[in-house]
Amino acid sequence: MSTPQDTPGTGQGREQGWNPPATTGSGQNPVGPDGTQGPSGQRGPYGYQAAQPSGYAYPGGGAVPQQADKGPAPKEVMRAYYLILAAGILYLVSSIISSLTTEMPDVAGAGVGVAFGLVFAVVFTAIYVVLAVFIRRGRNWARITATVLAALDVLAVSATLLLMPLVSQAAEAGGQAVPPTSGLATALSVIVMLLGVAGVVMTWLKPARPYFAPQKLGY
């Protein structure tokens, strides 16, 4: 038979120094004598908010999503990078050679046209370099842009090669002199076109396609 001293929660038991843990309204999460709430509580001593563990998602917040790493670029993508980069550099060289070797008519404004052509060549070369860099990083927009530019380059070079003889014949028939074009510049423009097309084709090969696919966001 228990005595008052042995029974927890009785008056005499409290006098012995034993106090039952206080509970919240639901009977869970006991609060200690220092005001610290239990394991699932959120308040520390003196009623202050307890520090949250690492990785705690605050209400209304959430972790910031980050793009998954694509990993190393496939060898096809690296080849495309070097091919397109070489096409841009060779395009600039071709433009410089063309401006130096093509005979310009002795008219006002001819020098301005040459300078404008060189500025355009520098800008277009920068576009080649930017596209090559972002293709190496796996950006799909860069691959699509490079594809469109390569297609336009094929059309421009093909039209130049096909129309050049016709323009020369028409000028000779009309008694007009046509400035001769540099064969080296023409050959370089063809090489630039082939390099650009080869680089774009590399990005569309089967081993390179997953590298340009959108990556899932991780947390």
CA count, 13 A, side-chain hemisphere, 151: 6
| CA–CA distance, 31 with 21 (Å, rounded to integer) | 6
Residue 55: inside a domain, yes or no? no
Q: Is residue 113 part of a domain?
A: yes
Which residues does residue 22 pair with via DSSP β-bridges, in sequence order? 31
In a domain, 115, yes or no: yes
Residue 37 belongs to a domain: no
Hey, what are 73's tokens? 């670029």
Q: How many domains does the chain have?
A: 1
Q: Is residue 57 part of a domain?
A: no
Classify residue 80: in a domain, yes or no: yes
pTM for the whole thing?
0.64
Query: What confidence tens digit (pLDDT) does each residue in 85-138 have?
Result: 999 999 999 888 888 776 665 555 566 777 888 899 999 999 999 999 999 999
The verdict on residue 162 lying in a domain is: yes
For residue 194, the enclosing domain spans: 69-214
DSSP states along 93-135: HHHHHHHHHSPPPSSTTHHHHHHHHHHHHHHHHHHHHHHHHHH
SS3 of 63, please?
A: coil
In a domain, 124, yes or no: yes
24-82: pLDDT as tens digits: 444 455 555 555 555 444 444 555 455 555 444 444 445 444 555 678 999 999 999 99
